[in-house]
Amino acid sequence: MNGYEALGLLIFAVLFRIFLKPILRTFAARTKTELDDKILDAVTNPLWFIVILLVADFFIQSYFPNAYAHNIIYTLIAVLAAVIVYRLAKIFIFDVIGPTRSPLIDARTMRTALLVIQNVVLAVVVVITVTYILTLWGVDVTPLLASAGIAGLAIGLALKDPLENLFYGVMLALDPAFRVGDIVDVDGTVGEVKEIGLRNTKILTFSGDIVTLPNAKIANSRVLNYHLPTDKIRITTRIGVSYDSNPEEVKKTLVEIAKS
């Protein structure tokens, strides 16, 4: 970046702060969605500070070259960039994915799943940012990454089943095959769905027992939902009657029982 580019960037940042930001906010306020307003609020201030820091770094390195000052400035820029990425990801999770919730899943379970996704995104952003900052300051992160990989592998093996159930719980929340209250058949377990959690699902059988099924098992099983596409259920059964019974009377009685 030469002097003219730095000066032009600074002028653009000032003009954006004074003129363009209010104009963009006015246009965003006129739209029917709040998504553009949230995006503008999420990125405006961090971008402004990033531009100021870039210009400051140029002038400092041009007249008072200092590696520590350069590293400090770019550390701050990395943090601000991470804030922008995390804010945008959060908006995407709750304002884009969230409203697409299927009626098969309750709002509480969906929000819990979205919070899990948010925390995963936060962890990824933090790890990438910290890795970049350590590299910027000359720290060899290869041994750290190797150690973290070994530790992560050990933890992953120890927590394989809980993490697998948690993952499939999130998948069930985003793409559910049933909802609370539905009558389902999961590999021979037939009953009413009483609770859908992130780790397991509870089904009340017709004998009055609660069966708890891990979500990983459900995700890899054949699921028959008797409530979809309609809540009408057809059951074939044998009913014994006397040979001298009137067939029409028997049929009428059975229909009345079925309707009651």
The pLDDT of 162-183, averaged and rounded, is 72
pTM surpassing 0.85?
no
For 105-152, what is each residue's pLDDT tens digit? 666 667 767 877 888 888 889 989 999 999 999 888 777 666 666 655
Burial of residue 107 (CB within 10 Å: 0-12, 13-18, 19+) is exposed
DSSP string, 107-173: HHHHHHHHHHHHHHHHHHHHHHHHHHHHHHTT---HHHHHHHHHHHHHHHHHTHHHHHHHHHHHHHH
User: What does the pLDDT look like over 79-99, one tens digit per residue?
Assistant: 999 999 999 999 998 888 877
| DSSP string computed for 242-259 | -TTS-HHHHHHHHHHHHH
pLDDT beyond 80 at 157: no
Q: How far is the CA of 4 from the CAs of 7, 161, 183, in angstroms?
A: 5, 58, 70
Q: What is the pLDDT of residue 84?
A: 95
What is the distance between the alpha carbons of residues 28 and 42, in angstroms, rounded to a whole number? 13
Q: Which residue has the higher pLDDT, 223 or 104?
A: 223
Q: Is the pLDDT of residue 20 over 70?
A: no
Q: 183-186 and 189-196 as β-strands: parallel, antiparallel, unpaired?
A: antiparallel
Distance CA 45, CA 17 (A): 9
Which of 156-160, 217-221, 231-235 tops mean pLDDT?
217-221
Residue bearing the bigger pLDDT, 166 or 245 = 245
The order of strands in the sheet holding 223-225 is: 210-214, 200-205, 189-196, 183-186, 223-225
- Contact present, 46 and 83 (Cβ < 8 Å): yes
Orientation angle between helical segments 107-136 and 160-174, nearest 10 degrees: 120
Residues in Cβ contact with 218 at an 8 Å cutoff, skipping those fewer than 6 apart: 168, 172, 177, 186, 201
Average pLDDT of span 28-55: 82
Report the percent of the chain where pLDDT is more than 90.
18
Where do the domains of the chain lie?
3-171
Indicate whether 221 pLDDT > 80: yes
Q: In the predicted model, is pLDDT for residue 232 greater than 80? A: no
Arithmetic mean of pLDDT over the chain: 79
